[in-house]
Structure formats: C-alpha cells, structure tokens
Structure 1
Amino acid sequence: MKNTILNLLLVSIVLSSYSQTQVIAQNESKPNIIFIVTDDLGWSDLGCYGADLNETPNIDKLAEKSMVFTNSYAAGSVCSPTRASIMTGKTPAKLNYTVWSEAATGNAEERRLRGSKYLEPLTLENLPLEEISIAEKLKSKDYLTAHVGKWHIGDYMHFPNTQGFDVSVASSQRGAPPSFFYPYTGIVYDEFRFVGDLGMDADGKYFTNREGEYLTDRLTDEAMKMIEDAGSRPFFLNLSYYNVHVPIEAKAEDITYFKNKLSSEYHHQNETYAAMVKNVDDNVGRLLHKLDELGISENTIVVFTSDNGGVIQKYKDKVVTDNFPLREGKGSLYEGGIRIPTMIFYPKNPGKGQQIDVPISTIDYLPTVMEIAGIPNDLDNIEGESFLPLLKGEEAKSLENRALYWHFPHYYYAVKPVSSIRDGNWKLLEYLEDGHIELYNLADDLEEKHNLADTEPLKTNELLSKLRKWKTNVGAKGIRQNPNYKKQ
C-alpha cells in the first residue's frame, strides 16, 4: 500500500513538472507583454527620476533591472492623442486626433461664440475603427488581449473590444471618474464621467461591500485575475491607471504620512499627490509580485510609462506637481509637457539597469511589439520605428538620426497653438498665432531657458523647414482666422 501511494506521488510530481515545462515551452517564443500606462505622471515624479517628496520603491526596483529611458516622449501633450499613438504607431497629427475626446467636438464653435480671434480645428473624438491597433496585431498571433482601466479614445461604440481586445474592464469615454473611491462616480449616477462596470453587478445593482475601495487597487485586482485566467496562453495586458489624473484624492493614512514629510526644500509640495503616486507604486509592486508568484516574470516584458507630462496647475488651491528641471507641464510642447518617465523590463536584456539616452516616442510601441512577437510589419503608413535593438543592447542609428514631431493646434490654460520638432539635441517650437519661433539646444539647456533662434539662423531655418514639410505630409490641421471676430 505504501509503495502504491509512493508511486502515485511520484507520478503526480512528474506530471506536475511536465505541465510546468510545457507552459514555459509554449510561452518562450511568445513573451507576455504588459503595458502599465499612468495618467499625467511627470518625468520627475518617481524616485529613480529624482523625486524628493514622492516615494516609489517598487518602481525604483523595477528600474534597477530594466532599461531606463531618459529621452522618452509622449506623442501628444495631453492624454487621448498619446493613447491613440500607442495603439496605432501614428502621430496625433496624422490621425487628426490632437486633443482629448471631450474637447474635440464643438470646440471651434464654442471659441467662435466667445469671440476668439482664431478657431481651433475640429478633430476626431473617437479612434476610427479602421485603424489597426497593437491588440489586433497581437491577437493575430493568438495572444489573449486585455485592456484594464482608462481608454479615453472613443465612446462605447469605439471601446477596446472594437480594437482587438478580448477583455475590457473599467473603460470610460471620459478621462477620469469624479472620485477614485468606490463607486467611482459622481452624485448623478447616469452621468458619462464614471467607471460603471466596476460599480455594479451584472443586474445593474450597486455593490454594497466595497465602501472605501480605491480605484487603482481595484484595477490591479482585475489585471491580476486576468493574468491568472490566461493560463499558458501568451497575453498582452494594457493596464491603464486613471491615477494620477485629477481629482487629486488618496487614502487618508498616506496623505498624513507625506504631510509629515513635507519640506520647504522640496520641489514637490503636494502631499495628496505624493500619496497617489505611492498608490501607483504599491500596485506596481503587487503586480510584479504576482508575476513572480506565477513563475512567469522572466517571460514577461513590462513597460512602465505615462501619457504626458505632469500637471503644474493648481487643484483645490495647491499645485499638483513640479516637473523640475523641465519647463512647463501637461498641454505644453516644452519638455515638461511631453518628456515622460519610461522603463522597460526585457528579460533577455544583457544590460539590466542601463540608462538609454536615445530618444523614443509612444509611436514606437506598435512596431517594437510587432517585432518582439515575430509579426511582419506590413503597416506602411505608420510613423513609429522599432526600438527592439536598444532592448537587446545594440545600436539603433536610425532612431538616433531621426527627428520627432509634435502638433498641438489648441488652447490649454496658458498654452497656445504650437508645433515642434526635436532633431538630435536641437529643438524648435513654432507658435501658430504669430509665427514666433524658439530654438533650444537640449544638451546644454534642458530647462529651455535660452532661445537661440536669432543666434543660430541656419539651424532655425533647417528645423523649421523640416517641421513644415512634415506637417504638410501628414495633413496636420492648423488654426484659422475667426471671420466673426471683432476686436474689443
């Protein structure tokens, strides 16, 4: 009897080992891919990027074994355009998706009624269904594709399930809920600005056992459940946190901790925002622990990034964040609005913890992921380039030698319509209202304090010519005179 039991145990162990080996073998040629996209997280909001008040031990630990990109850019200076660029590999100007969805329709008419001298162009409010997304490409390779969290590139007729995602959780056609605490909605439950599928059960009834639940915690719960459910199938998870977008809300105990830590010497002075950043860090730690627990960490590529620069305006009489040493913030085409924290854990990378200074953009994710997954790049109209060579520790001359472009023909707080180009270390901005030109050498002037347009006329004309040619090629829409404008 003892021998029979022993034999059964041995068989069980062998079968278990065989099953685990099979899972690894099935996944090795198709690594899992996770995007963690934060909302409005600034370039200097993380410990590994020089934050003072904020604490991010889990993300810093991820950085230690990842490639950390110091010149990573959002293709847009606000949320929706950048998110569309991640999905499609195209710049917002080429997509005609240059402003967030809510501002896209009727904005020109509103400005006309306000007596504005210039009219903004009408742009898309939904990512067109005919655009090929990163999820659709991976799905063709039998990846399980899941989107969890902020979508903000289309209404319910353009939700993630229409763009190749098998699973879609907590999407909304708006940019953020009125509250990060359950039930993640405002006083009026049927308003658009809410995350409905997390607040109600299948019968449309509100849960009664989730009081005090924080949205980022819940999104991570849903993401980890999806990973577990994927089993041996390779997966692509687009985990898109609503944090650290307004409303600036966090858990009371975390706010108290950072309030006690505040110092007048810090650049960051918002204890509630610091608590929100901490919550993102806590949940990144939870997610990475789950990968370790399931034994799939070394077969999972993890991308951590943001959709634009940090918000430098006030929320409830307190400045949200500080992007020092970068100039300005969200909405602006100065570095503070478009340079974003980015790190990528690539298991096969020989130089973990390495700093990469080669500029990359969110338009590069689609071609990079396609190359990683062994998908032929048959998309001849995308603008991004694969940076897989950088992840492998190789040179990427084409990336080093190319120019990056931005176009924001809109008004946002103090930001006026503007286009920009970065070519090498040179960066030029062209303001669309009056043609004002600014030129900076980022190698010597990261803070963009010294305008060299007058002292470097040849470089100014060279970059201006490139910028205008690009705008023509992609069909970038500009501002126009308001025929009804009357000077006061």
Structure 2
Amino acid sequence: MKPLALFVALALLSVSDAPPVIAAEDTRPNILFVFADDWGWGDLSCHGHPYVKTPNIDRLAKEGTDFTRFTVASGVCSPSRTAVMTGHFPARYNIDGHFAWVPSNAKRNMPDWLDPSSVTLPRLLQQSGYATAHFGKWHLSNNMIPDSPLPSEYGYDEYGAFNCAGEQMPVHEDAQHTIAFIEKCEREGKPFFVNLWVHEPHTPFHTVPKYEWRFRDMESAPDAIYASVLSHADDRIGDVLNTLDRLEIADDTLVIFSSDNGPARAGGNAEPTLMYDTATGAGWGTGASKGITAGRKGHKAALYEGGINVPFIARWPGKIAPGAIDDSSLISAVDLLPTFCEIAGAELPEGYQPDGISQLAALTGSPSEVREKPLFWKMKGTWPIRKAAPYHWVAYAIVDQNWKLLANEDLSYFELYDIAQDPYEKTDLKSSESVATDVLLAKLKQWKSTLPSQPSGSVFSTERDNPK
C-alpha cells in the first residue's frame, strides 16, 4: 500500500472507532409577529364586531390568550414601529409622526429614517442564531426617499417590503413570502423570527373580487369594502398558520397578532373614492375607513385608548393558556424586544437600556400585579382643542400603575384617569386626585427633559443638502 493510501486508511479507521459528532439541535422557539396597520380593537369578530369576519385570528384567540390592556407607543405608524424595533420610546429618536418625504420630515424636526446603527430586535435575534425576515409594510423610512436604508441593514436576512426604498413588494404577497421563508428555515433546522406586517386596513383599500363577493349583500359600500380587506388579510394570516400546522411546528412557534395603532375614521359621511399611493398603488380612500374601538375614546393619531389600545393575541401551545383573557397585564410595544430576546436566549448589548421590560411571565400566565416602569408617549398635539378633532390635542401622556395622565404641549392642561377601573376614560379625576396628578406631572416633566431637541446620527437624506 502506498504511504498516502495507508495514511487515509488509518485515518478512516480512527474516525470509525470514534463516537459520531452530532450537532446540537436548536430547540429555541420560532417567533412570528403579525403587525397590522390601523386595525382597531373592535375590528375582530372575536371582539364582537357586527359584520367583520376574522376566523383565523379568532382561532389564535381560542388557542391562545387575548391580552386586552396592550398598548402601542404611538397613535400613528412610524413611531409605533420604531418602539417595536428598538425597545425604546420613539421620542428618544425624535420620531413622533409618520415618515414622509424629506421636506415634511425636516419641517417636523424628524429624521428621514430610523438610524440603522441603533440596537434593533432583528439584529439581536440574528446575532443569536435566528434566521430573520420581514415581509410587508416597513415605514421606518419612506419609498419617496431613495437613499434611505433598506430593511436588510437593520438585521434581516431576507425581506420583501413596501414604504421603503427600492422595489415595492405587492401588498398581497406578504404571506406567500412568509410561508416560503418558514419552509426554508424548517429545511435548514434554524429557528426563525419573522415580521408579517400586513397593509390592512390602511388606505388605500386594495379590494379584490373574491372578497368583494363575500360581502356583496351589504347595503353600505364603505362597510363592504372595509369588511372585504380585513377578510382578505385574515385569510392570508390563516395561510401562514396552516403552514405551521402542515410542517408540524405550531407547538414550537410563538405567534402574536397586534396592530400599530387604532383605526382611522372618515370624517362625516364621506363616500369612498379612488386614491393612489406611491408605495402600494390604487385603491379606495378614507371614505371606507370604518374601523371601531369597541367603546374606547378616540382613534388613530390620538393618545386616548382608542388610538393606542389595540388587539394583542398571543399563542404558544403548552406555554400560553388557550382560550384565556388577560385584562390586567399592562404590556407595551416597548416590551417586545426584551421579551423576545429572553424567549430566544439573546443577550442585550452592554450599555443598552430598554424602556420596556420582559413580559415572558405575563405571557405564560404569571403577571406581576403592578408595572414598575412607567410608560410615556409624545406626539404632535393641536391646541386649543378643535371641535372637529376633539381627541387630537394630547401631546404627552404617561401611564404609571393604574393612573394615566394626558397633557398638552406646555403641560398647562391635562386630564387624569384611573385606567385600570376606567379604560374608556370617562371620568377625569385630576381635581379629586391632586396627589396622583402632581406625581405624574413631575414624572412627565422629568422624562420630557431627557428627550433630544433634534435628531442625530446617520438619519438624513442627501436631499436635505440638495432640496428640489
């Protein structure tokens, strides 16, 4: 035998005598986060909507827990999404409105996008070994700003999106891309984190014949349009849930359904007319905005509960109680980053301090009786109060344990509610609860003093240097 052949034979013999090396299976759960756009608390059949049908989301509620006190960090989309991505109140980034084209952002003292160097949820999970993907609405920049960072720069392995730079993914392709990514991860044996951020029910309302036909007998055209787009979104969510069943990974997957803010409402008796959006195309306009809050005060763009208290349904078989309603846990969008990181075993970076807290205990049925960390909000409010927009005067809000205080820009006017006992904000207690009012005002002033006066970092388009 030649020396080289003898060496190979001895090496193979040595290998055959050794125990096989088997890679450790990554048993960490998958995470699927479904984030709708303008989906009101009352816009689910399981929440009692009179005509909207959402059997797939209802299934999540039946197989999981419905957390009724969840709030997002803003009454509009971009700051709300910033909180999910960063675990911080969006005011820390001077993001208190939606990202628009550059002149509008500059006028409102906003950046042109979320700084991609920020600590972000997908990047933390990606670094811990998760496959990460984003499919659907982005709006952490804007499609009208061509030099804005792509979603891949924030920690996603794959993405298909709209309201971002580059090619705009058709809105109804979100689920099919999600399914393909999940199938790929299952083949490769990797845990996944997927954002499925659906367009519905934001304008334009992109109806298709199949779903128009479902509601053809409704007398009101706006109601029929609204019901059809929600039904379409619910079916796509159902397709993804069915994929988890087919691949036999539903028990290993945390699924959460929520919304970025409360529902939009058309003014007066406006009829739906066609409109065009540069990111998503043509569809019906605000005349078909028929979302409801199930009695909560206000709606989209307000910091009353109708604008920030949105659906939050979580399913994780064997971990999260099925068919339960949790009406006490005060969970916020800023809690998602620390919660998902604890679930995934992903470490938070040194020096990073989230505004949120991990809510794993609350999700799995052991909530704390009170929330130790207060929650804060900042938006553009209009003052004095306008009769046509009675809920949009609020510029700041704080929730601390059972109290919620809303205030105008200079804190000269405010309202106080016991949000635990009065979730519909019917009784202003500032006169009878002066001590609580003073405590919350002091905390709000202190928080306000920590906020930056202007955006910083790599957050400006070159169009600011060359205005059109």
| TM-score (norm. length: structure 2) | 0.80
1:222 aligned to 170, 177, 197, which one?
177
126 and 48 in structure 1: CA distance in 2 versus 1, 3 angstrom threshold = same
Contact 1:439/1:460, CA 8 A, preserved across alignment: yes
Find the counterpart in structure 1 of residue 56 from structure 2. 58
Match of 2:114, SS? coil
Letter in 2 for 1:254: Y
Match of 2:429, SS? coil
33 and 308 in structure 1: CA distance in 2 versus 1, 3 angstrom threshold = same
1:294 aligns with 2:275: no
- In structure 1, distance between residues paired with 2:150 and 2:112: 12
- In structure 1, distance between residues paired with 2:182 and 2:321: 27
Contact 2:226/2:288, CA 8 A, preserved across alignment: no
333 and 104 in structure 1: CA distance in 2 versus 1, 3 angstrom threshold = farther
Question: Cα offset for 1:423?
Answer: 1.9
Long gaps (5+) in structure 1: 1-21, 110-120, 174-191, 200-214, 479-488
- Between stretches 375-384 and 75-84, larger displacement belongs to 375-384
Find the counterpart in structure 2 of residue 464 from structure 1. 441
Find the counterpart in structure 2 of residue 373 from structure 1. 344
- In structure 2, distance between residues paired with 1:350 and 1:243: 27
Number of equivalenced pairs: 403
Find the counterpart in structure 2 of residue 167 from structure 1. 158
Question: Cα offset for 1:198?
Answer: 3.9
Question: Cα offset for 1:326?
Answer: 0.5
- Between stretches 82-91 and 352-361, larger displacement belongs to 352-361
Contact 1:368/1:387, CA 8 A, preserved across alignment: yes
475 and 381 in structure 1: CA distance in 2 versus 1, 3 angstrom threshold = farther
Match of 2:33, SS? strand
Find the counterpart in structure 2 of residue 427 from structure 1. 404
Question: Cα offset for 1:81?
Answer: 0.5
438 and 350 in structure 1: CA distance in 2 versus 1, 3 angstrom threshold = closer
CA deviation map 1:414-464 (0-9, x unaligned): 323510111223211101167211112234433223222223222211211
1:124 aligns with 2:111: yes
What does 1:186-335 correspond to in 2, within 5 Å? 196-198=167-169, 215-216=171-172, 218-230=173-185, 231=187, 232-258=189-215, 260-261=217-218, 270-314=223-267, 316=272, 317-335=287-305
Question: Cα offset for 1:410?
Answer: 4.8
Long gaps (5+) in structure 2: 1-21, 273-286, 456-468
368 and 276 in structure 1: CA distance in 2 versus 1, 3 angstrom threshold = same
- In structure 2, distance between residues paired with 1:437 and 1:197: 42
Match of 1:277, SS? helix
Match of 1:289, SS? helix
Contact 1:53/1:262, CA 8 A, preserved across alignment: no
Contact 1:39/1:306, CA 8 A, preserved across alignment: yes
- In structure 1, distance between residues paired with 2:199 and 2:25: 33
1:364 aligned to 335, 360, 366, which one?
335
CA deviation map 1:340-362 (0-9, x unaligned): 10111123315222222211111
Find the counterpart in structure 2 of residue 37 from structure 1. 35
1:49 aligned to 47, 50, 58, which one?
47
Find the counterpart in structure 2 of residue 71 from structure 1. 69
CA deviation map 1:184-239 (0-9, x unaligned): xxxxxxxx8xx83546xxxxxxxxxxxxxxx33x2111111111122211111111
Question: Cα offset for 1:339?
Answer: 0.6
- In structure 2, distance between residues paired with 1:108 and 1:453: 36
Letter in 2 for 1:26: E
CA deviation map 1:148-207 (0-9, x unaligned): 11111025532211001010113332xxxxxxxxxxxxxxxxxx8xx83546xxxxxxxx
Letter in 1 for 2:183: E
Letter in 2 for 1:427: K
- In structure 1, distance between residues paired with 2:252 and 2:197: 21
76 and 293 in structure 1: CA distance in 2 versus 1, 3 angstrom threshold = same
What does 1:141-160 correspond to in 2, within 5 Å? 141-155=128-142, 157-160=148-151
Find the counterpart in structure 1 of residue 423 from structure 2. 446
Find the counterpart in structure 2 of residue 186 from structure 1. none
- Taking every aligned residue pair, what percent have the same amino acid on both sides? 32
Question: Cα offset for 1:278?
Answer: 0.8
Contact 1:425/1:442, CA 8 A, preserved across alignment: yes
Find the counterpart in structure 1 of residue 310 from structure 2. 340
Find the counterpart in structure 2 of residue 176 from structure 1. none
CA deviation map 1:108-158 (0-9, x unaligned): 74xxxxxxxxxxx50222111210111111111221111111111025532
417 and 105 in structure 1: CA distance in 2 versus 1, 3 angstrom threshold = farther
2:375 aligned to 401, 404, 410, which one?
404
Contact 1:94/1:476, CA 8 A, preserved across alignment: no
Question: Cα offset for 1:107?
Answer: 5.5
Contact 2:37/2:261, CA 8 A, preserved across alignment: yes
Contact 2:394/2:406, CA 8 A, preserved across alignment: no
What do you get for the CA RMSD once the two structures are aligned?
Answer: 2.7
Find the counterpart in structure 2 of residue 205 from structure 1. none
Letter in 2 for 1:393: G
- In structure 2, distance between residues paired with 1:36 and 1:64: 17
Contact 1:93/1:477, CA 8 A, preserved across alignment: no
96 and 348 in structure 1: CA distance in 2 versus 1, 3 angstrom threshold = farther
Find the counterpart in structure 1 of residue 19 from structure 2. none
350 and 384 in structure 1: CA distance in 2 versus 1, 3 angstrom threshold = closer
Question: Cα offset for 1:477?
Answer: 7.0
Letter in 2 for 1:281: D
Find the counterpart in structure 1 of residue 16 from structure 2. none
Contact 1:407/1:476, CA 8 A, preserved across alignment: no
Question: Cα offset for 1:319?
Answer: 4.5
Match of 1:439, SS? strand
- In structure 1, distance between residues paired with 2:83 and 2:381: 18
Question: Cα offset for 1:79?
Answer: 0.3
